Amino acid sequence: MAEALDEIDVRLLAELQADADRTNVELARLVGLSPAATLNRVRRLKASGVIRRVVARVDPAAAGFPLQVYVAVTLAGAAPRTSRAFEDEVRALPQVIAADWVAGETDAILTIVARDVADLKRVLSRLSLQGGQRLITYLRLEEIKPPSPLPVADPATATD
Partner DNA sequence: GATGAAATAGCATTTGC
Partner DNA sequence: GCAAATGCTATTTCATC
Positions that interact with DNA (CB under 7 A): 3, 8, 23-26, 32-37, 39-41
Longest dimension (CA), the chain: 56
**99: amino acid identity, one letter:** A
The angle at the Cα of 99, spanning 2 to 117, to the nearest 5 degrees, equals 155
Q: What are phi and psi of 113, to 5 degrees?
A: -120, 150
Which CB sits closer to a copy of itself, 5 or 33?
A: 5
Nearest distance from residue 92's CB to a copy of itself, in Å? Answer: 10
Query: Which option in a copy of itself, DNA, none does residue 48 bind, with CB closer than 5 to 8 A by kind?
Result: a copy of itself
Nearest distance from residue 2's CB to DNA, in Å? 12
Cβ atoms of 108 and 70 within 8 Å: the answer is no
Of 37, 121, 125, 140, which lies in the binding site for a copy of itself, with binding defined by CB under 8 A? 140
Question: In whole angstroms, what is the distance from residue 35 CA to residue 32 CA?
Answer: 9
Q: Which does 82 bind (CB under 5 to 8 A by kind): a copy of itself, DNA, none?
A: none
The rounded distance, in Å, linking the Cα atoms of 83 and 87 is 6
User: Rule CB under 8 A: is residue 99 a binding residue for a copy of itself?
Assistant: yes
Q: Establish if 80 lies at the interface with a copy of itself (CB under 8 A).
A: no
Q: Hey, which residues between 17 and 56 contact a copy of itself (CB under 8 A)? A: 17-21, 46, 48-56
